[in-house]
Amino acid sequence: MHPWKSYGDTDFITGLRAYAAFAVILVHSGGAGLRQLGSLGQHIAGLGATGVYVFFVISGFSVAASYNASASYPEYLARRLLRIAPLYYVWLLIAAATAGLSYWGHQFRVHLDPYNWFMHLSFLSFLDYRVANSVLGVEWSIPVEVFWYLVLPFLFRLIMRHRLGVPVALVASFCAYLAVRELGRFLPLSPDDAALAIRWSPLPYVFSYCLGVCAYKIRRPAGDVSIAIVLAAAVAYVFVPPDRIDPFIAVSVVTFALICIGSGQSVICRALFTNRVALFLGAISYGVYLSHFPLKAMMGVEGGGLSAFLLIAAAATVVSTLTYYVVEQPCRQLAGRLPRLARA
């Protein structure tokens, strides 16, 4: 029996998660040798960081689907937290007990003290950029997700109920993103620290999450020609200098377009996203994302060559397969039983 849950015609989104997770490993492992190939290689390796933006747009879509299928806001929220919190807590404990502080924890000279633990366990670490990424090295995105779990259902209602909900949400959230980018100038911090404080907060990602909700409302599966055009635009972007088009905007919009028109009937989607390998890796992608940086520290992997990428990716895949069955799958099953437990 395969480990992934089938979502029918949107199974390709599970496969898309796999690409996003391993893109993040690419940048954190040093670029798999791409950085030694000149400016283009540097750009491609750097784009690995945008895998998180793919996750955010997908999360917006998933939140919309989950909330729409839930009987109440508390039930929806409990199901979302059961999916994200247990493995997050497990990896916080593992990393703290083995690797200790992450690179960012050492940079900001923080400690694994009660304050740091409270901020992490309560999902409030985005309020203090110094601790936001101090344990796993990638955990800043988890409180961002939880924040939008709390807020997005209210935006979902507005978007779904009004005829102009989609265009208004897209324009308003894009303008909000542009405004948030300028907030760093007004913070009493150095420019680098201010940039991190904004980047590791939920505020810039209102655009990503609104894209996901809007994709849920307007999704219309299309044929291979339309999907090929979107993917061709994504490939073409690789050759565009990063200062010409904001990577956050480019990757978020491409992800939005794929979710809007992707189809289980598409030959391209079946080849790239719904083959068994992509679906398997997509199913365990959350564990891959959380584990790869602590595993890199535990194994003492250095260098930015292909071997470093393959070693970290293989270790994260093996460990995440184990945690999927031991932690994630039981929690998902419990989340699926919540409606019956509530009625009991």
Are 57 and 252 contacting, i.e. CB atoms less than 8 angstroms apart?
A: yes
**Stretch (H or E) spanning 205:** none
- The two tokens of residue 171 are 């324009």
Q: What is the dihedral of CA 70, 279, 92, 311, to 10 degrees?
A: -170
Distance, CA of 272 to CA of 260 (rounded, Å): 17
The percentage of the chain sitting over the pLDDT mark of 90, rounded to a whole number, equals: 75
Average pLDDT over residues 149-154: 94
**Mean pLDDT over each residue of the chain, to the nearest integer:** 92
Q: What is the pLDDT of residues 226-258, one digit of tens each?
A: 999 999 999 999 888 777 889 999 999 999 999
pLDDT in tens, 35-83: 888 888 888 888 899 999 999 999 999 999 999 999 899 999 999 999 9
Instruction: Give the torsion sign (CA, 12, 253, 144, 302).
Output: positive
Token look-up 């633990």 returns 117
The pLDDT score that the predictor gives to residue 180 is 94
CB atoms within 10 A of CB 183: 14
Amino acid identity of residue 329, one-letter, is Q
Give pTM, 2 decimals: 0.94
Cα separation, 107 vs 309, whole angstroms: 24
Domain ranges across the chain: 8-343
